[in-house]
Structure 1
């Protein structure tokens, strides 16, 4: 439902409190005090059947007796009364309710009270926050519909938390530091309003410049990631996630499943959305302080200005540990500093200006350092001394930082009694301040990581992978064969066949039913060879003695097979043994054993894993997780996130591995996870990698049990089903397909081949070219929210070949309405391509369930206006004086259904 009726939550004209109380210290009493003292300008109505007056204000006996319909209701009554209250509010037309009450998990008359609340609200499209929550606070609007102990200051940070205790802790901490908030919401049990809804709302809220989340669990992962990505593109979004322990990991049939614990999957999801994750409550506070200061950075190079060498060294250690870099001072900068600093200054970064540094010395040095082009931010450290005025130095730093608000300045005034007032000064002046060098460095590296996450969202991947329809059909048939045999685990031979259909290089493998068959396979393959047992009931063959390497003769093969049968039967007496596989012994000196695979996650669906492989893969635990669908950029980022990546990049006389081939395997595994939802777990271990390429030496694949719940990918994959061939009236043929991230360069080229006039008519402003950032956002779309169909030549690969036209729809969070846009390459106009593109995108919108499609068209764009009329759009006649026409087409959803 997303943000429908959120205006009743955040901009109500009246509020009703059901459960108001005169009892001192009760939740109902605190709620009354907070509502009344918050400064809300609208009407506040109290409801309690047992009181005429509460805290000196009139009290009403029931919802039915309220003098007007409240926009927002706050409910703090016993759990069993809540469904009836919601029903009464809905009947009167109330649009939103905050349910403070807990205990709605109890089942009454066959359904939980929580479900009864939702059932009562649904017919009226009423929004429910909670139950079991602290409430809502919007300081600028004077709304304190909570039982928090303080009314926060007004500001531009929004905080959304599942924990009410966390919310009050942040309020208390922020009050001391004079940090303000736009909104604070405790979502509690999230029966209706959840993180996805809040991110959708806050992304367009004019009073919010940054968002903090305290997350215990995510519901509706696809909606959450879609909303998070949208919000993170417009403002910083930070999250602290509770529950990081290994208890979230489960026993699995593969290395991949065992390694893919739930917390690392959350990590991957947050990164994919462009969210910055912090690990501890204190870090969230530090991040809040940094965001409150408005600090933004452009890179990872830090300059440190200090009057104490030891503090500077601590900062450098922390910077190196957290992955930042010291900025290099220019010769010009050093010369300028020589002119204002004593001869004993450090003449390097950290810039140690000596313990007797005066405010003037601090100011002069900071002025020079802020002009250094190799520096992305400055950390100013002050150690208290008896010969210099720390407060005056702080004032000087704050004044200079204010003159250049876009240059990031962080401060660390060390100490207690003397430093506290200076830190208060910085907080009041919105200069980021911390009480230790380590905390300041951590805040800086948070900003660096956030920027990297954002850049990752806009990097252009190389041409995409296209798996043929016939290959997918072949893989599905193989899976059906396994199911018909009553199995859920593929043999190694079958697993490698499946990988091969998706273009993943595998070692040649032959199947043998018995010892004689193994010998025959050896004679066909030659020495040296590898022998492996085939049994669906043995997960890790090496543990059972089911792997023999470097077999050099037929006799040795026979002896190895007989010994293997004996060892395996001793290890697993009741396991069914289906035979052996025989393959050539691959010898690549210096090649790395890696692991790559697929594992299921109960929240986010299938995930892709990559890391160090071999027998000790689980012990070493060096891995990275990614969410499908992947592209080349995301796959390379996964590789870079592992410790082994430093070795894979090459060192001394060791050549780097074939990174393109390695990334290609991950992308193809991603395609496999999308196209074959029957696959539950898959691991390739080892995946051999060196400068020559990659090769899967062993593979294991298990299927979901029949009837098992399968969680779909949390990011909607490329909708291949929308691809279709079309023929224009002049006989020209094109393929219309959804746009992909790889299409950025062809999209830029298409725009470059349009006339300036055509671009002005499309974008309603002069445009000479499509900048990278804009092109990346146009091509890297969220298929859950947007759709763009491109016209390309038949047979052209994703990201290769020209694009001749684009039609786009961007829908609102409710999937009610969408805005369209069309652009056809100038030399293709007049052939009917634009008409066909717009027809197809409208057909998609109708099928998706949209109620309305609209667009803004310049009135001088008569061709576009005529095409819109021909397709059934109506122009708004009330705005004839405007330069633009608002055109709309409505769909009859009942008729379409």
Structure 2
């Protein structure tokens, strides 16, 4: 379940309180008071077997006695009684319940978990949704519902707050009340037995009374649902999250460097970023961020200009910017020349722009106008320090007047002080100009805007085309299958490199030797300096046991090193089974950087990909970035840019830049590998050498386990479904290839629409379409394979000549379809073939119904629909449309 019946939480016709009480101070009494005093305009019914009335309202002894159906129930009875209560409520037609009571498995108590399951089993036949148990409750200001034991009712606002912690909810309520901050809804999720973050993100994304969503997260229960819902919500409104438990230990039992480096918090960070959310780290920062993002300001980049009447304040702001993703804007010569005409000769002539302590309002206005016109500036922070020779309120009015002619201009303000600047802050707030008390708060707000812009851009930016061929999946799968069938979790280095080679990741040629003498013979055949490594299924890190020798130049040296290695390894790992050696040519690339690329499994989000600086000290350096698969080149590039080593890869002094396209491609190939062979649980390429000539993997390690049958279901984001690729035979005998759409297909999709007759475009989009803007094309090509599927047909020139898609509802009950065939390809059965494939996919997903709206004049589409078994009936109120339905 996801959004089904959640409307009963926020818009019930009637509410029942089961466990109401008149006993002062009891939970049942506090909830009764809150419900009756909040102002809800529907019936509120109470249930208590021992009371005649609750707060002067007629009470009922049992749920069965309730005279009318209720949509929402608040339950505050002892835990043992709750499964029965839920069953009775469901039988009465109740659609949602908020279970306040604790005692359902907190602390892993078996009896509580059993009770929790009984509660869920009681709700399931009635599709009754449960918030909690062990929660504070639900508050909704629009319908005036306070179904909680909170100490106050929030002011009405347009921000929703969803939290796992009831204590955090009350703290936030108190903080917000003192500042006049309002909410649309506050939901305490408690133990999330049923309703979780994903459910509420889906609901709140479509809630017109909510303009921004705040989350307080301790853990995620269903990562894929969270990511799908989060990405949808974040595309429509700001989603800001604070995550508790940042210091949680990482993967303790990891066999790879990647597992040790990819701790849980960095993975949460990657997940929030990938979903387009903004993560903050302090409660105060949470509200700063929502205030800033709700202001409507949007940035184009991360370059900040600072305008101040005090040099010290400008320095503080500059210091706060240091070490953040933001940077000081470099003012253009034309901007400096313009400022020269309006500022005293003693102004700073640089950024920060110090306009001197006696600056009147006009000087602020003239300077701000100049900075807003600077092409190298993305936002302006205006600072003011109160002085005896200038009026801070006048300066504020000058800023406000300047912004009247530039609505939406990216301007943040910070008037330092308290009494002297109170009126200025009030005026800023009244006109929704973001204002902050200190320079560091203001700079942090700018960073929030910049980070949010970057995360949103990643959701919609078109990645570069894939510049490499499809991998040899069969070869790679067979290598992994043989190792797993032999009962080995860890592949040998030789096998691991074979898997990488199948995905066209360059590897150093590696040969096997069983004895020191055979290793010497192999080295002589290579004829160049070699690296010698121990070969053992039991040894993970070969250097730790003396299992690596480098730059051996003769066969004699190799043989001697091999014998010494056997002795050393036997001393340090007497339990290890030794299978021989690997011999490989030494790679001399003196300007190459040592990188690490890896795969690990996170307990919550499943497989993750890691990139960073490699080498033997990789855990000590700990320069890494983590991302959730699947990756494209754009996501790979952003991942690389989050590491310190990326600055070295860009080149410096006389050292040429590394081949960034080759590094990006390696990350994308590893992502593809992970989706194609889910048996792989850990992987290290360390080091991956990278320089201007490309990349090459010197060492590799892969850990694999038998397939569980779940395939890629444990991925937080469903990977690219390559298994859905196939061919279509058209009526003229031509064979076309089809496959799921990729984000990189946007240009080809645009080209298909551009080359189609305007009438056909109108049929597809149910209206005239003068152009095909990037945002629309990105939404059609960058899809969530968990809830959507789009198949594209390609000709021999790799042009898209047809596309079909379905979009399922959050409950995976029904899906809407849409299809388009390029005008010059019509009449050959392509549309029918694509529809057949997408309907087969829909059946495989368990969908119950597929429907579509078709223009009444689109007779070819209606004939195809009828041939496929669709029922044609009247559609919406629009007489030009008909609805076609297929019961699956």
TM-score range, shorter chain: over 0.9
- Structure 1 equivalent of residue 233 of structure 2: 231
What is the CA distance between 1:641 and its match in structure 2?
A: 1.2
- Structure 2 equivalent of residue 876 of structure 1: 873
Q: 1:309-388 alignment to 2 at 5 Å? A: 309-329=311-331, 333-334=335-336, 337=339, 341-388=343-390
What is the CA distance between 1:347 and its match in structure 2?
A: 4.1
Q: Is the 8 A contact 1:250 1:261 kept in 2?
A: no
**Deviation digits for residues 606-633 of structure 1 (CA, Å, limit 9, x no counterpart):** 1111111111000000011121221111
Q: 1:434 to 1:585 in 2, by over 3 A?
A: same
Pick from 852, 864, 869 the counterpart of residue 867 of structure 1: 864
1:33 and 2:30 aligned: no
Q: 1:436 to 1:880 in 2, by over 3 A?
A: closer
- Structure 2 equivalent of residue 114 of structure 1: 116
Deviates more, 1:427-436 or 1:235-244: 427-436
- Structure 2 equivalent of residue 659 of structure 1: 660
- Structure 2 equivalent of residue 288 of structure 1: 290
Deviates more, 1:21-30 or 1:434-443: 21-30
- Structure 2 equivalent of residue 76 of structure 1: 76
SS of alignment partner, residue 153 of structure 2:
coil
- Structure 1 equivalent of residue 548 of structure 2: 547
Deviates more, 1:5-14 or 1:472-481: 472-481
Report the Cα distance in structure 2 between the residues aligned to 1:769 and 1:663, rounded to whole angstroms. 32
Q: 1:5-24 alignment to 2 at 5 Å? A: 5-24=5-24
Q: 1:126 to 1:880 in 2, by over 3 A?
A: closer
Report the Cα distance in structure 2 between the residues aligned to 1:818 and 1:141, rounded to whole angstroms. 31
Report the Cα distance in structure 2 between the residues aligned to 1:432 and 1:837, rounded to whole angstroms. 51
Report the Cα distance in structure 2 between the residues aligned to 1:108 and 1:624, rounded to whole angstroms. 38
SS of alignment partner, residue 321 of structure 1:
coil
Deviates more, 1:229-238 or 1:283-292: 283-292
What is the CA distance between 1:243 and its match in structure 2?
A: 1.4
Deviates more, 1:62-71 or 1:457-466: 457-466
What is the CA distance between 1:332 and its match in structure 2?
A: 5.7
Report the Cα distance in structure 1 between the residues aligned to 2:328 and 2:142, rounded to whole angstroms. 41
Report the Cα distance in structure 1 between the residues aligned to 2:351 and 2:227, rounded to whole angstroms. 40
SS of alignment partner, residue 40 of structure 2:
coil
- Structure 2 equivalent of residue 443 of structure 1: 445
What is the CA distance between 1:209 and its match in structure 2?
A: 1.6
- Structure 2 equivalent of residue 685 of structure 1: 686
Report the Cα distance in structure 1 between the residues aligned to 2:877 and 2:707, rounded to whole angstroms. 61
Q: 1:880 to 1:552 in 2, by over 3 A?
A: closer
SS of alignment partner, residue 322 of structure 2:
helix
Q: 1:366 to 1:97 in 2, by over 3 A?
A: same
Q: 1:28 to 1:394 in 2, by over 3 A?
A: farther
- Structure 2 equivalent of residue 702 of structure 1: 703
Q: 1:581 to 1:6 in 2, by over 3 A?
A: same
Report the Cα distance in structure 1 between the residues aligned to 2:812 and 2:21, rounded to whole angstroms. 41
Report the Cα distance in structure 2 between the residues aligned to 1:301 and 1:707, rounded to whole angstroms. 49
Q: Is the 8 A contact 2:874 2:881 kept in 1?
A: no
Report the Cα distance in structure 2 between the residues aligned to 1:526 and 1:59, rounded to whole angstroms. 94
What is the CA distance between 1:375 and its match in structure 2?
A: 3.2
What is the CA distance between 1:880 and its match in structure 2?
A: 8.2
**Deviation digits for residues 803-843 of structure 1 (CA, Å, limit 9, x no counterpart):** 11111111111111211111111111222212222232223
Q: Is the 8 A contact 1:289 1:433 kept in 2?
A: no
Report the Cα distance in structure 1 between the residues aligned to 2:328 and 2:371, rounded to whole angstroms. 13
What is the CA distance between 1:295 and its match in structure 2?
A: 2.7
What is the CA distance between 1:54 and its match in structure 2?
A: 2.3
**Deviation digits for residues 296-354 of structure 1 (CA, Å, limit 9, x no counterpart):** 32322223222211111111222233122333445665565556554544344323232
Q: 1:593-608 alignment to 2 at 5 Å? A: 593-608=594-609
1:580 and 2:581 aligned: yes
What is the CA distance between 1:700 and its match in structure 2?
A: 1.4
Report the Cα distance in structure 2 between the residues aligned to 1:649 and 1:299, rounded to whole angstroms. 20
- Structure 1 equivalent of residue 622 of structure 2: 621
Q: Is the 8 A contact 1:179 1:292 kept in 2?
A: no
- Structure 2 equivalent of residue 66 of structure 1: 66
What is the CA distance between 1:110 and its match in structure 2?
A: 9.4
Task: Name stretches of at least 5 consecutive residues in structure 1 with no aligned partner.
Answer: 892-897
Q: Is the 8 A contact 1:203 1:234 kept in 2?
A: yes
Q: 1:632 to 1:202 in 2, by over 3 A?
A: same
Task: Name stretches of at least 5 consecutive residues in structure 2 with no aligned partner.
Answer: none
- Structure 2 equivalent of residue 44 of structure 1: 44
Pick from 833, 837, 842 the counterpart of residue 840 of structure 1: 837
Pick from 712, 715, 732 the counterpart of residue 714 of structure 2: 712
Report the Cα distance in structure 2 between the residues aligned to 1:72 and 1:225, rounded to whole angstroms. 28
Deviates more, 1:140-149 or 1:480-489: 480-489
Pick from 825, 838, 853 the counterpart of residue 856 of structure 1: 853
Q: 1:707 to 1:326 in 2, by over 3 A?
A: closer
Q: Is the 8 A contact 1:292 1:430 kept in 2?
A: no
- Structure 2 equivalent of residue 186 of structure 1: 188
SS of alignment partner, residue 597 of structure 1:
strand
What is the CA distance between 1:802 and its match in structure 2?
A: 0.5
- Structure 2 equivalent of residue 222 of structure 1: 224
Q: Is the 8 A contact 2:484 2:705 kept in 1?
A: no
Q: 1:382 to 1:62 in 2, by over 3 A?
A: farther
Q: Is the 8 A contact 2:871 2:884 kept in 1?
A: yes
Report the Cα distance in structure 1 between the residues aligned to 2:708 and 2:236, rounded to whole angstroms. 41
Q: Is the 8 A contact 1:295 1:406 kept in 2?
A: yes
Q: 1:484 to 1:723 in 2, by over 3 A?
A: closer
- Structure 1 equivalent of residue 253 of structure 2: 251
Q: 1:742-753 alignment to 2 at 5 Å? A: 742-753=744-755
Q: Is the 8 A contact 1:177 1:427 kept in 2?
A: no
- Structure 1 equivalent of residue 730 of structure 2: 728
TM-score, length-scaled by structure 1: 0.94
Q: 1:16 to 1:513 in 2, by over 3 A?
A: same
Deviates more, 1:304-313 or 1:194-203: 304-313
Report the Cα distance in structure 1 between the residues aligned to 2:491 and 2:468, rounded to whole angstroms. 24
Q: Is the 8 A contact 1:748 1:769 kept in 2?
A: no
Report the Cα distance in structure 1 between the residues aligned to 2:160 and 2:834, rounded to whole angstroms. 40
Report the Cα distance in structure 1 between the residues aligned to 2:470 and 2:334, rounded to whole angstroms. 59
Report the Cα distance in structure 1 between the residues aligned to 2:476 and 2:638, rounded to whole angstroms. 28
SS of alignment partner, residue 5 of structure 1:
coil
Report the Cα distance in structure 1 between the residues aligned to 2:455 and 2:147, rounded to whole angstroms. 35
- Structure 2 equivalent of residue 131 of structure 1: 133
What is the CA distance between 1:787 and its match in structure 2?
A: 1.0
SS of alignment partner, residue 249 of structure 2:
helix
Report the Cα distance in structure 2 between the residues aligned to 1:110 and 1:188, rounded to whole angstroms. 14
Q: 1:266 to 1:887 in 2, by over 3 A?
A: same
Report the Cα distance in structure 2 between the residues aligned to 1:103 and 1:392, rounded to whole angstroms. 59
What is the CA distance between 1:241 and its match in structure 2?
A: 1.2
- Structure 2 equivalent of residue 95 of structure 1: 95
Q: 1:644 to 1:53 in 2, by over 3 A?
A: same
SS of alignment partner, residue 112 of structure 1:
helix
Deviates more, 1:749-758 or 1:316-325: 316-325
Q: 1:26 to 1:372 in 2, by over 3 A?
A: farther
SS of alignment partner, residue 142 of structure 2:
helix
Q: Alignment RMSD, CA only? A: 2.3
**Deviation digits for residues 445-501 of structure 1 (CA, Å, limit 9, x no counterpart):** 1111111111122222233377768x3333233223323433211221122122212
SS of alignment partner, residue 88 of structure 1:
helix
Q: 1:112 to 1:431 in 2, by over 3 A?
A: farther
Report the Cα distance in structure 2 between the residues aligned to 1:871 and 1:746, rounded to whole angstroms. 28
Report the Cα distance in structure 1 between the residues aligned to 2:518 and 2:737, rounded to whole angstroms. 49
Report the Cα distance in structure 2 between the residues aligned to 1:515 and 1:655, rounded to whole angstroms. 40
Report the Cα distance in structure 1 between the residues aligned to 2:854 and 2:65, rounded to whole angstroms. 50
Q: 1:593 to 1:383 in 2, by over 3 A?
A: same
Report the Cα distance in structure 2 between the residues aligned to 1:111 and 1:20, rounded to whole angstroms. 25
Deviates more, 1:530-539 or 1:419-428: 419-428
Report the Cα distance in structure 1 between the residues aligned to 2:875 and 2:570, rounded to whole angstroms. 84
Q: 1:39 to 1:305 in 2, by over 3 A?
A: farther
SS of alignment partner, residue 501 of structure 2:
helix
